């Protein structure tokens, strides 16, 4: 939220557009690093669906939940609180679904992972569009759209004769790259903005 004042009163909100952009940039950088590390670890283990791999799969949407909570707490007016809360609900449901699907096998995991990728991708795309004025959002818009397509492919892959987790896990790598590009672009947009 921008700092607002009324005659004779102090600022009622500490979050400025520049500080909101900086907080979002840090969040994007952290998500990028996490996604790369998570993908490297999970890909090395994804040949076999076991309790450790299932736990790692559950962790990924939970990090999405944590990021949305941090986004909400930053109080940025540029983000839709309703969409962020919806993302929290979708990602929480995905984590729970993955925990149960892990006991059913790779096809069930791919179906849940794919459904989550579609829903979360749509939400990311919409939030990115709403934040365009903040700058640095095109990578998030593109990433959201690609997530929808990837999610549909994971659901389709679940019906294959011998479905594999590798492609679904590797899905985190382009996401990490898009978060990194968005962070860099957001940093540039902030520097180019007058008064920041």
Band (pLDDT 50/70/90 cuts) for residue 7 is very low
Angle at 27 between CA 22 and CA 30, to 5 degrees: 125
pLDDT score, position 6: 34
pTM of the model: 0.83
Identify whether the C-beta of residue 190 lies closer than 8 Å to the C-beta of residue 196: yes
Q: Which residue has the higher pLDDT, 123 or 24?
A: 123
CA nearest 62: which of 38, 36, 78?
A: 38
Domain residue spans in the chain?
A: 17-189
Distance CA 181, CA 161 (A): 37
CA 150 to chain CA mean position, Å? 14
Q: Which band of pLDDT confidence, cut at 50, 70 and 90, is reported for residue 11?
A: very low
- What's the DSSP call for residue 146? H
Mean pLDDT of the chain: 84
């Amino acid at each position: 939220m921008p700092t607002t004042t009324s005659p004779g009163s102090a600022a009622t909100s500490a979050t400025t557009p520049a500080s909101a952009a900086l907080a979002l940039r840090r969040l994007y950088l952290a998500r990028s690093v996490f996604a790369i590390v998570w993908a490297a670890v999970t890909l090395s283990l994804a040949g076999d669906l076991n309790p450790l791999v299932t736990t790692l799969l559950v962790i990924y949407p939970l990090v999405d939940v944590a990021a949305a909570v941090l986004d909400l707490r930053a109080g940025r007016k540029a983000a839709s609180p309703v969409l962020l809360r919806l993302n929290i609900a979708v990602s929480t449901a995905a984590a729970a679904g993955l925990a149960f699907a892990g006991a059913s096998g790779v096809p069930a995991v791919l179906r849940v992972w794919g459904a989550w990728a579609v829903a979360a991708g749509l939400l990311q795309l919409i939030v990115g569009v709403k934040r365009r004025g903040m700058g640095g959002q095109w990578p998030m818009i593109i990433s959201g759209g690609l997530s929808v397509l990837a999610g549909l492919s994971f659901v389709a892959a679940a019906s294959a004769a011998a479905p594999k987790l590798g492609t679904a896990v590797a899905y985190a790598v382009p996401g990490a790259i898009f978060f990194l590009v968005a962070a860099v672009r957001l940093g540039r947009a902030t520097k180019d903005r007058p008064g920041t």
